[in-house]
A and B are shown apart, each in its own frame.
Chain A
Amino acid sequence: MTTLGHLGYWATVALLMTGLYIVIARGHLVKKLVGLGLFQSSVYLLYIVPGKLVGGTSPIVDQGARVYSNPLPHVLILTAIVVGVATLAVGLALAVRIREAYGTVEEDEILAADDHDG
């Protein structure tokens, strides 16, 4: 049963690997930020999946419900999503700035331009 019980975690790991791969292997800075977003959302799942109880409901206390899923990961991840979009905005602004300064957002070309200057 543990193998079946861990499938949710493994889907999370697959998303994490995809995000990490994009960040390492792709050169376009905006694409890298997309990869970071995938990586980040895999962490959302890593927190939310263990909090789920099958047959439970959202943690809104009511007479009719007896089993609630865990509200604490929800609170943490709400904060993470909002902070995530704030950091994404800063990252994209940096990419736009780099494009202004170098004329490109491809990592290889930026490094080559730096080598040329140095």
Chain B
Amino acid sequence: MTETLAVGALLALLVATAIAIARLRNLFAVVALTGAYSFLMAAVLTALDAADVAMTEAAVGAGISTVLFLGALHLTGALEAKPAQRPLIPLLVVIGAGILVVYGTYGLPGFNDPAAPIHTHVVPRYLQDGPRETGIPNMVTAVLASYRGYDTLGETTVVFTAGIAVIALLRRRRRPKDGEGKR
């Protein structure tokens, strides 16, 4: 019960932070709140036993993403323009989408249901044979680096491609500038 309550309280804080992010127009404040949001998310993930994900979220979400956002804001300007009209249509679209997704959740098994398919399909096999087969007690590491090692290699390719894309985009930015001698 305590666990469920803690998760519920943290989720409520997350939703409050998200709404504050949506309402603010000063983007430096938004980025600061995004960092707080990432740490709250890491806390929720820890409470949900996802220790590896929580560490990654705290390092990547609150660390690297915040630095990237601050750099981008420095280059693009940090104050958002006032919206021209009341955002009625977006609100209707979002509420409609929300109702559809909530309707969809009724097809899912409830929280903490040990008989749910997610807990009975392949996981018992991993937990039983994993340590013997891979020699790693942490099942997340075992699946990520051993059973699904090639997928992780593919992920590295994606990150590498993204790095190349960023370099290509930002390098083209400089050349005309140097040529024209501005700034």
Interface of A toward B, CB cutoff 8 Å: 1-2, 4-11, 13-22, 24-31, 33-35, 37-38, 41, 44-45, 48-62, 68-75, 77-79, 81-90, 92-97, 99-100, 105-106, 108-109
For A67, the closest partner residue in chain B by CB is: B114
Asked whether A85 lies within 8 Å of B64 as measured between CB atoms, the reply is yes
For B49, the closest partner residue in chain A by CB is: A69
For B166, the closest partner residue in chain A by CB is: A93
Which residues of the partner chain A approach B116 to less than 8 Å between Cβ atoms? Answer: 50
Of the candidates B37, B113, B119, B126, the one having the most CB atoms from chain A within 10 angstroms of its own CB is B119
Asked whether A108 lies within 8 Å of B130 as measured between CB atoms, the reply is no
New A-B contacts (12) at CB < 8 Å, excluding given A29-B76, A90-B166, A93-B165: A6-B110, A27-B83, A34-B31, A34-B34, A53-B114, A69-B49, A78-B52, A83-B159, A96-B72, A96-B75, A97-B169, A97-B172
Which residues of the partner chain A approach B73 to less than 8 Å between Cβ atoms? Answer: 30
Which residues of the partner chain B approach A4 to less than 8 Å between Cβ atoms? Answer: 110-111
Asked whether A89 lies within 8 Å of B162 as measured between CB atoms, the reply is yes
Q: How far is the CA of A37 from the CA of B69 in the complex (A)?
A: 11
Asked whether B144 lies within 8 Å of A21 as measured between CB atoms, the reply is no
Residues of B in contact, count (CB < 8 Å): 94
Asked whether A50 lies within 8 Å of B108 as measured between CB atoms, the reply is yes
User: Interface majority SS on B: helix, strand, loop or mixed?
Assistant: helix
- 30 A-B pairs whose Cβ atoms sit less than 8 Å apart in the complex: A4-B110, A6-B106, A8-B11, A25-B83, A27-B80, A28-B80, A28-B81, A30-B27, A33-B69, A41-B37, A44-B57, A52-B7, A52-B111, A53-B112, A59-B139, A61-B127, A61-B131, A61-B138, A72-B118, A72-B122, A73-B50, A75-B144, A83-B155, A85-B64, A85-B68, A86-B161, A88-B65, A89-B162, A90-B166, A92-B72
Contacts known (A2-B110, A52-B48, A56-B49); A15 close to B18, Cβ less than 8 A: yes
Asked whether B76 lies within 8 Å of A85 as measured between CB atoms, the reply is no
Which residues of the partner chain A approach B7 to less than 8 Å between Cβ atoms? Answer: 8, 52
Q: How far is the CA of A42 from the CA of B21 in the complex (A)?
A: 14
Asked whether B22 lies within 8 Å of A82 as measured between CB atoms, the reply is no
Q: How far is the CB of B169 from chain A (nearest CB, A)?
A: 4
Which residues of the partner chain A approach B91 to less than 8 Å between Cβ atoms? Answer: 21, 25
Partner of B53 from A19, A48, A84 at Cβ < 8 Å: A48
Asked whether A78 lies within 8 Å of B140 as measured between CB atoms, the reply is yes
Which residues of the partner chain B approach A60 to less than 8 Å between Cβ atoms? Answer: 51, 137-139
Contacts known (A6-B110, A25-B87, A70-B123); A17 close to B140, Cβ less than 8 A: no
Asked whether B80 lies within 8 Å of A20 as measured between CB atoms, the reply is no
Q: How far is the CA of A21 from the CA of B21 in the complex (A)?
A: 11
Partner of B80 from A31, A96, A97 at Cβ < 8 Å: A31
Q: How far is the CA of A87 from the CA of B102 in the complex (A)?
A: 28
Asked whether A34 lies within 8 Å of B30 as measured between CB atoms, the reply is yes
